[in-house]
Amino acid sequence: MLAFTRLSLAAAVLAPALSTHAAKILVQVGPGGQTIFSPSNVTASVGDVVSFQFLSKNHSVTQSSFASPCEPLAGGVDSGFQPVAVDATNLSEFSIAINNASKPLFFFSAQTALVDECNLGMVFSINQDANSATKSFTNFQANAKADVPAAKATAVVSSSTVAAAPAAASSGAKILVQVGAGNGLTFSPSNISANTGDTVSFQFLNGNHSVTESSFASPCEPLAGGIDSGLQFVAANSTEIPEFSFTITNGSKLFFFFSKQTVPVNECNKGMVFSINQDPNSAVKSFAAFQANAKADIPASTATAVGTKATAVPAKASSGSDILVQVGADDSLTFSPSNISAKAGDTVTFQFLSKNHSVTQTTFAEPCSSPLFGGIDSGFQPIAPNATAIPQFSFTLNNANTPLFFFSKQGAECNQGMVFSINQDPNSAKSFAAFQANAEADIRPAAKVNKRGRRVHARDFSKVVGK
Ligand SMILES: *[C@@H]1O[C@H](CO)[C@@H](O)[C@H](O)[C@H]1NC(C)=O
Ligand SMILES: *[C@@H]1O[C@H](CO)[C@@H](O)[C@H](O)[C@H]1NC(C)=O
Ligand SMILES: *[C@@H]1O[C@H](CO)[C@@H](O)[C@H](O)[C@H]1NC(C)=O
Ligand SMILES: *[C@@H]1O[C@H](CO)[C@@H](O)[C@H](O)[C@H]1NC(C)=O
Ligand SMILES: *[C@@H]1O[C@H](CO)[C@@H](O)[C@H](O)[C@H]1NC(C)=O
Ligand SMILES: *[C@@H]1O[C@H](CO)[C@@H](O)[C@H](O)[C@H]1NC(C)=O
Ligand SMILES: *[C@@H]1O[C@H](CO)[C@@H](O)[C@H](O)[C@H]1NC(C)=O
Ligand SMILES: *[C@@H]1O[C@H](CO)[C@@H](O)[C@H](O)[C@H]1NC(C)=O
Ligand SMILES: *[C@@H]1O[C@H](CO)[C@@H](O)[C@H](O)[C@H]1NC(C)=O
Ligand SMILES: *[C@@H]1O[C@H](CO)[C@@H](O)[C@H](O)[C@H]1NC(C)=O
Ligand SMILES: *[C@@H]1O[C@H](CO)[C@@H](O)[C@H](O)[C@H]1NC(C)=O
């Protein structure tokens, strides 16, 4: 299976090569902390790939024009800002495949936060003509330093043909992923396996997408310190294909990504997600579950970065649905949703997002006083503010005919309304609303609870899995 995947990817990489002699031309961005591209200009042939390696600070490679060196070219390529952590172990790379060597291309770093880097002369060109006043790198850089303002947006190219990037020659494999192929909201393939040393290259073919690292738990939220291509707009008349790549430094790790575009639709919610080294047999590591989370729009939980090391929940054995309930989202004392309907065979998964809560089964009559004997109880699940893992607790419902009631047994949280139910009937006396009102009123009826009734509840579950 693994071998098959890698073979077919290798074929996909080799197929579109334009020329067997295509070169990869490496350009360093910010070497030694300097505000420069090195080299400052290169000559490239058709089929060559110019790869920009971001080595320090927070620069961009943004296409401009000879006339307006420090203004982004409409429809031009743009790496977006690529911040590099001081202790970065892997480096982002942004590449452009050349399909017309007669056309000089001009670029600048769009960073202006501390200093306008373009005005400092941080510019670059491909196929300059040193002998032409309007095509030389020297004149272009002089214009940049003189801060020549935007003149006019001139149409550049009219061809709609796009160049295919040739296979790269590196020691690890190069795995190609197409972004937006056929104008779809897709990464193709949707998930890959990669080893340490492999380079994953994303080719932006259409639209305005990004490749942004997230986490299994929060598919549609950027991971703090994670990889991000920035939004890559590809005009219909674009002749260059922006390519964004990175090298895998740990082939044992899982990586999750999404397109952060939300206009006109939230692409992540449409399932435009991608993963590396998913495990199809793990509920918290499979691409399918990740994509389902993305479509269900799991919101950001806490401000903390969440890792991909969420505690393993065994794969769902049944064919029922997965129902996700967030516990303590946004630091609130809530289960979200507060009540659900579930069928026999459905799996209910609780994600603990903040503080120190529990999911503990109780009775309708006496919500907050003690756990139901023999009932479900996740135990306390403390979440540190800097937590990198999200504990999950799941069970599969065996009996959908009886309403089930739960509370957080932490302190007075139940009295503050932190309760949950499954298969309540809003029109019956045992509605979720009445249950929550009982909890807030701290109802403790004198009547003893019938033990046989508790046994019935205990049999409502087929399996209880810990975090
Ligand atoms: C890149 O390195 C950072 C830490 O330096 C790590 O968090 C991230 O997962 C790495 N990404 C890849 C794709 O190797
Ligand atoms: C390549 O670029 C040059 C200069 O801009 C242009 O004259 C020529 O038509 C282009 N060739 C193709 C095939 O687009
Ligand atoms: C990189 O620079 C951009 C533009 O100034 C800024 O918005 C962004 O926050 C910076 N990123 C980091 C990590 O400093
Ligand atoms: C263009 O780049 C070459 C090296 O690739 C360098 O020798 C030359 O000085 C550069 N031209 C200018 C004007 O900086
Ligand atoms: C693409 O077309 C737009 C509008 O039609 C134009 O402004 C832009 O300069 C063109 N870009 C290229 C790279 O041809
Ligand atoms: C690409 O998408 C971003 C975010 O929606 C938007 O700000 C930007 O204007 C878009 N670029 C183009 C050229 O449409
Ligand atoms: C690689 O990732 C795995 C899984 O996250 C982790 O257990 C291991 O320590 C990592 N190895 C290195 C060298 O960072
Ligand atoms: C993961 O990728 C493989 C290879 O492209 C594909 O066959 C499989 O269907 C993908 N898994 C999912 C859940 O989409
Ligand atoms: C979580 O709450 C329980 C019950 O109040 C307490 O015993 C435990 O120490 C708490 N855990 C942490 C890490 O605060
Ligand atoms: C989280 O914060 C605590 C207390 O500040 C610290 O001891 C612990 O090492 C931190 N853990 C991580 C993963 O950063
Ligand atoms: C029960 O859950 C549904 C769906 O989440 C919600 O619309 C409704 O308000 C909840 N009922 C109560 C009483 O909170």
The closest residue, in CA terms, to atom 11 on ligand 7 is 250
Output the CA 395–ligand 2 centroid distance in Å: 63
Q: Which residues pair with 241 in a beta bridge?
A: none
CA atoms within 13 A on the CB side of 318: 18
Structure tokens at 214: 């997230």
Distance from the alpha carbon of residue 25 to the mean position of ligand 1, in angstroms: 24
Is 327 found in the same domain as 224?
A: no
410 and 365, same domain (yes or no): yes
Whether 188 and 168 share a structural domain: yes
Size of the chain in residues: 467
| Residue 302 to residues 35, 128, 172, 298, 308, Cα–Cα distance (Å) | 36, 49, 37, 12, 15
> What range does the domain containing 434 cover?
304-449
Does 456 fall in a domain? no
Q: Is 208 domain-assigned? A: yes
Please write the tens of the pLDDT for every residue from 53-79.
Answer: 889 889 999 999 998 899 998 878 888
Distance CA 203, CA 63 (A): 17
465 in a domain, yes or no? Answer: no
Does position 152 have pLDDT exceeding 80, yes or no?
no
The Cα 371–Cα 58 span in angstroms is 53
State yes or no: pLDDT of 308 exceeds 70: no
For residue 218, pLDDT over 50 is answered with yes
Q: Give 152 or 265, the one with higher predicted confidence.
A: 265
Query: Of the given ranges (61-65, 110-114, 152-156, 430-434), which has the lowest mean pLDDT?
Result: 152-156
Same domain, 376 and 316: yes
Whether residue 7 is found in the same domain as residue 142: yes
Domain count, the chain: 3
Of all residues in the chain, what percent carry a pLDDT higher than 70? 78
Cα–Cα distance between 352 and 325 in angstroms, integer?
9
Q: Is the pLDDT at 197 greater than 60, yes or no?
A: yes
Rounded to the nearest angstrom, the distance between the alpha carbon of 359 and the centre of ligand 11 is: 18
- Cα–Cα distance measured from residue 370 to residue 127, given in angstroms and rounded to the nearest whole number: 76
Q: What is the pLDDT, as a whole number, of residue 461?
A: 38
Side chain identity at 21, as an amino acid letter? H
Residue nearest to atom 9 of ligand 10 (CA): 386
60 with 196, same domain?
no
Task: State the closest ligand 11 atom to the C-alpha of 421, by its place in the atom list counted from 1.
Answer: 1
Which amino acid makes up residue 357?
H
Asked whether the beta carbons of 258 and 274 are under 8 A apart, the reply is yes
Q: Give pLDDT, residue 159.
A: 20
In this structure, the answer to whether residues 118 and 17 fall within a common structural domain is: yes
* SS3 track for the chain: CHHHHHHHHHHHHHCCCCCCCCCEEEEEECHHHCCCEECCEECCCCCCEEEEEECCCEECCEEECCCCCCCCCCCCCECCCEECCCCCCCCCEEEEECCCCCCCEEEECCCCCCCCCCCCCCEEEECCCCCCCCCCHHHHHHHHHCCCCCCCCCCCCCCCCCCCCCCCCCCCCEEEEEECHHHCCCEECCEECCCCCCEEEEEECCCEECCEEECCCCCCCCCCCCCECCCEECCCCCCCCEEEEEECCCCCCCEEEECCCCCCCCCCCCCCEEEECCCCCECCCCHHHHHHHHHCCCCCCCCCCCCCCCCCCECCCCCCCEEEEEECHHHCCCEECCEECCCCCCEEEEEECCCEECCEEECCCCCCCCCCCCCCECCCEECCCCCCCCCEEEEEECCCCCCEEEECCCCCCCCCCCEEEECCCCCCCCCHHHHHHHHHCCCCCCCCCCHHHHHHHHCCEEEEECC
Domain assignment of residue 268, yes or no: yes
Judge whether 219 and 273 are in contact, CB under 8 Å. Answer: yes
Are 130 and 8 members of one domain? yes
> Is any ligand 9 atom within 6 A of the Cβ of residue 410?
yes
Instruction: Give residue 290's pLDDT band: very low, low, confident or very high (50, 70, 90).
Output: very high
pLDDT band at 370 (very low <50, low <70, confident <90, very high): confident
Domain final residue pick, 253, 276, 296: 296
Q: For residue 376, give the CATH number of its domain.
A: 2.60.40.420
Q: Is residue 427 situated within a structural domain?
A: yes
Q: Which pLDDT band holds residue 162 (cuts at 50, 70, 90)? A: very low
Taking residues 134-152, what's their average pLDDT? 75
Is 269 found in the same domain as 228? yes
| Residues 429-465 pLDDT 10s | 999 999 999 999 987 654 333 333 333 233 333 333 3
Q: For position 181, what pLDDT does the model report?
A: 86
Exposed e or buried b per residue across 106-128, where buried means at least 16 C-beta atoms within 10 angstroms of its C-beta: bbbbbbeeeebbbbebbbbbbbb
Which residues surround ligand 8 with Cβ inside 6 Å?
5, 189-191, 287-288
117: left (phi over 0), alpha (psi -120 to 50) or beta: alpha
The predicted structure's pLDDT at residue 384: 73
Ligand 3 centre distance from Cα of residue 112 (Å): 10
**Among 174-183, 371-380, 384-393, where is mean pLDDT lowest?**
384-393
Q: Which residues pair with 350 in a beta bridge?
A: 325, 393
What tokens does 418 get? 């932190």
Residue 454 lies in a domain: no
* Domain edge (last residue) among 296, 322, 349: 296
Shared domain check, 340 and 210: no
Q: What is the pLDDT, as a whole number, of residue 319? A: 62
169 plus 261 within the same structural domain: yes
Does pLDDT of 298 surpass 50?
Answer: yes
Residue 410's pLDDT band (cuts 50, 70, 90):
very high
Q: Give the atom of ligand 4 at the shortest distance from the alpha carbon of 42.
A: 5
Q: Which of these ranges, 41-45, 91-95, 444-448, has the smallest mean pLDDT?
A: 444-448
Distance CA 292, CA 286 (A): 10
Instruction: Report CA(304)–ligand 10 centroid distance (Å).
Output: 12
pLDDT at 271 over 60: yes
Q: What is the mean pLDDT of residues 121-144?
A: 92
Looking at the DSSP bridge assignments, the partners of residue 92 are none
Give the pLDDT score at 145. 86
What's the rounded Cα separation, in Å, for the pair 241 and 244? Answer: 10
Cα 126–chain centre separation: 32
Q: Is residue 213 part of a domain?
A: yes
Least confident of 51-60, 153-162, 223-232, 383-392: 153-162
Question: Residue 95: what are its φ and ψ, rounded to 5°?
Answer: -130, 155
Lowest mean pLDDT, pick from 12-26, 227-241, 247-261, 385-399:
12-26
The answer to whether position 101 is within a domain reads yes
The answer, yes or no, to whether residue 51 has pLDDT greater than 90, is no
Cβ contact 160:134 at 8 Å = no
Average pLDDT in the 211-239 region? 84
Final residue of a structural domain among 280, 296, 312: 296
Q: Is the pLDDT of residue 392 over 80?
A: no
Residues 196 and 214 in one domain: yes
CA 248 to ligand 1 centroid distance, Å: 8
* For ligand 5, mutation pick of 62, 63, 154, 156 (most atoms within 8 Å of CB): 156
CB-based contacts of 153, cutoff 8 Å, min separation 6: 73, 74
Q: Look at residue 371 in the predicted model and tell me its pLDDT.
A: 87
**Residue 167 pLDDT class (50, 70, 90 cuts):** very low
